[in-house]
Amino acid sequence: MSIENENPENENLNPETNAAENQPVEETVASQNSETETESEHQETEVVEEDFSHYSLKEALDEMEKIVNKDDASSFSRRFNTLREQANHKLSDEIEDKKHEYLEQGNPEEHFEYHHPQASKLSALVNIFKEKQDKFHKQQEAEHQGNLQERLAIIERLKNLYTNSEPGTNLFKSIREIKEAWGNAGQVAKSEFKNLNNNYFHHLKMFNEMLDLNKEYLEQEFAHNLEKRQHIIQRAKELLDEKVVQKALNELQYLHKLWKEEAEPVAEEFREKTWEEFKEISNKIHERKSELIAVIETEQLENLEKKNKIIEELKTLSAPQNINHTYWQQAIKRVEEIRSEFLKLGAVPKKLSNQNWTDFKQSLRDFNTAKNDFYKNLKGSQIQNLEEKQALIKTAQDNMNSEDWDTVVPLFKKLQEDWKKIGHVPRSQANKVWDDFRDACNTFFKNYRDKNNATGDNWKENYKNKKALLEELKALSDEEGAVEKIETIKNSWNAIGKVPKDKLSINTEFNKTLREKLKLNKINEFDLKEENLTENQLTDKARKIKNQITDLESEVVQLENNLAFFNSPTRENPLLKDTYDKLDSKKEQLESLKVTLHNIIAGE
């Protein structure tokens, strides 16, 4: 930024008025709006924006979290938005890498699905920051309204000073207090400022006219403003030795604002002299900005050279002389190291930044393609394993409805043993072949158990007894002792054998009613003290409890991982209260289920 050679104060002088004898104290202030617009063009300092392109996704999210946790988070809006763009950029790149690997494995694009583990944290931080901004803007609006009323009251005081002043009033002290109050008053809405400012300076002009060009007051005002100018110049000289160039530029901008608002006017013989001195110091400080830019450019060129070396190394790793599993494992480790090194390096020249980043990403893709091509050749054995397992599935499905127990029971046991001996299959088929094989085995052994348990059951009588128990269960309420009655009914139900196949729906109806009554009495199904359970029923109950324990453990781990996203995940943090409450509830339920499972296994 260059400083104009003309002192903006000179534009406000009235050529028809002798400044030493007749000029009113605040004659120039009435035109200060136009002066402010002119001079602000010379005093505005460009702020060098901080570069976050070298930040990793985690570093960007951590920095965003620090901003969110600040009391004055809204004042870091530009920094937060830049970090958010960087995080979105990194997130998109990593998802794109996952998609590229997925497609390289021969999978169809429309089936690609990937949820990045950091996406939730990014979304949460953005939402919290928006809430803080909304709160800040509401507070600011209220402050602006209060400041407006305060400034209107100051204007009214100024108006009364020259219209209704009492004899003996110290006008100099009074106008100084009014000007100080106006300078200390807070900001108002932009829509109100222009009219408010014009109104203030209009009455200030009227006050000066009332003074009838009081020479003594004028001299005191000039002396006061000259003292302020000298303080500003002294502080500007100190900024010449400030090591942080950007800090010096920012404070210089503030000093120019003080010059305009609090250090004008002064006696004519000091106007040009003080302005030229201040301008000369300002130009020297701004010359240091070019030094800062030169240093930044040198650092960026060095970063570019380092990044280009990393890209060349990636290209070399993608085209090895000797290809084997050991090489690729070592190469994968090395790529992770240089990838991390690349991301930690600072910015490069802006005009080369996009191309440098594109070359890096392409080199990574070329490496992944070469690596994937090597491992695709290893999948031949997995295809053979898949064919062997499909043959076992075919045998199991052909015999799962057979009642030749002496022959088929040993057959299914052998099928299960053979299954364990076969190695891995392609990941995309692993779940399917296992589900098909398990379903066939479960169907056979269920038929086998049903056949063995059918002998001697009086099915029709069983149905009659179960019907009576169902009606008794339906009649229960949440009165005292209802839980014990539910346990008695459930134990009686367990002691009853099978019912006719066309009446099996009564079991579904009983279980549905049981869940409703348990919910009404606020008790978990697995907390019931059950008796008369067969070995199969105990095994089934234990299996269900194990599944629920597994699900709860996964939920507990997920909640604890969510808390780990925050630097200070304490219970006092209001954002985490619901998470801690949910975590405590899950852990309590988990311990209860583990006790129940232990009792079943111990036969208690």
Residue 449 neighbours by CB under 8 Å, 6+ apart: 536
Claim to verify: residue 175 and residue 83 sit in the same structural domain: yes
Give pTM, 2 decimals: 0.32
CA 134 to each of CA 129, 418, 538: distance values in angstroms, whole numbers, following the listed order = 9, 65, 57
Claim to verify: residue 330 and residue 396 sit in the same structural domain: no
Claim to verify: residue 240 and residue 280 sit in the same structural domain: yes
Claim to verify: residue 177 and residue 234 sit in the same structural domain: no
Examine residue 361 and state whether it is found in any structural domain, yes or no.
Answer: no
Examine residue 71 and state whether it is found in any structural domain, yes or no.
Answer: yes
- Degrees to nearest 5, angle at CA 78 with 77 and 84: 85
Residue 27 neighbours by CB under 8 Å, 6+ apart: 12, 14, 17, 205, 208, 265
Residue 37's pLDDT is 36
Claim to verify: residue 228 and residue 82 sit in the same structural domain: no
Q: How confident is the model at residue 455 (pLDDT cuts 50, 70, 90)?
A: very low
C-alpha R_g of the chain: 41
Give how many domains the chain has, as a whole number.
4
Residue 534's pLDDT is 65
Residue 416's pLDDT is 87
Does pLDDT of 598 surpass 80? no
Residue 328 neighbours by CB under 8 Å, 6+ apart: 371, 374, 375
Q: Where is the domain boundary, 368, 399, 434? A: 434
* Mean pLDDT estimate for the chain: 78
What φ, ψ does residue 36 adopt, rounded to 5°? -60, -40
State percent of the chain over pLDDT 90: 5
Claim to verify: residue 319 and residue 401 sit in the same structural domain: no
Residue 366's pLDDT is 87
Claim to verify: residue 250 and residue 180 sit in the same structural domain: no
State percent of the chain over pLDDT 70: 83
Examine residue 373 and state whether it is found in any structural domain, yes or no.
Answer: no
Q: Where is the domain boundary, 532, 555, 572? A: 532
Does pLDDT of 419 surpass 70? yes
Highest mean pLDDT among 206-210, 255-259, 379-383, 474-478: 255-259
Examine residue 556 and state whether it is found in any structural domain, yes or no.
Answer: no
pLDDT digits (tens, 9 = 90+) for 223-245: 888 899 999 999 999 888 888 88
Q: Where is the domain boundary, 508, 532, 556? A: 532
Q: Domain range holding 284?
A: 218-347
Claim to verify: residue 260 and residue 146 sit in the same structural domain: no
Examine residue 22 and state whether it is found in any structural domain, yes or no.
Answer: no
- Looking at residues 435-449, what average pLDDT do you find? 86
Asked whether the bond before 426 is cis by omega within 30 degrees of 0, the reply is: no
Claim to verify: residue 80 and residue 138 sit in the same structural domain: yes
Residue 20's pLDDT is 31
Claim to verify: residue 234 and residue 205 sit in the same structural domain: no
- State the DSSP H helix or E strand holding residue 15, giving kind and residue range, or none if neither: none
Residue 198's pLDDT is 92
Examine residue 144 and state whether it is found in any structural domain, yes or no.
Answer: yes
Q: How confident is the model at residue 527 (pLDDT cuts 50, 70, 90)?
A: low
pLDDT digits (tens, 9 = 90+) for 265-310: 888 888 898 999 999 989 988 887 777 777 788 888 888 888 889 8
Claim to verify: residue 260 and residue 207 sit in the same structural domain: no
Handedness of CA 532, 536, 537, 539 (dihedral sign): positive
Examine residue 320 and state whether it is found in any structural domain, yes or no.
Answer: yes
Examine residue 63 and state whether it is found in any structural domain, yes or no.
Answer: yes
Residue 38's pLDDT is 32
Residue 18's pLDDT is 33
pLDDT digits (tens, 9 = 90+) for 546-582: 887 888 888 888 877 777 777 677 777 777 777 878 8
Residue 352's pLDDT is 84
Amino acid found at 449: R
Reading phi first (left if > 0) and then psi (alpha if -120 to 50, else beta), residue 568 is in: beta
Claim to verify: residue 200 and residue 228 sit in the same structural domain: no
Residue 275's pLDDT is 93
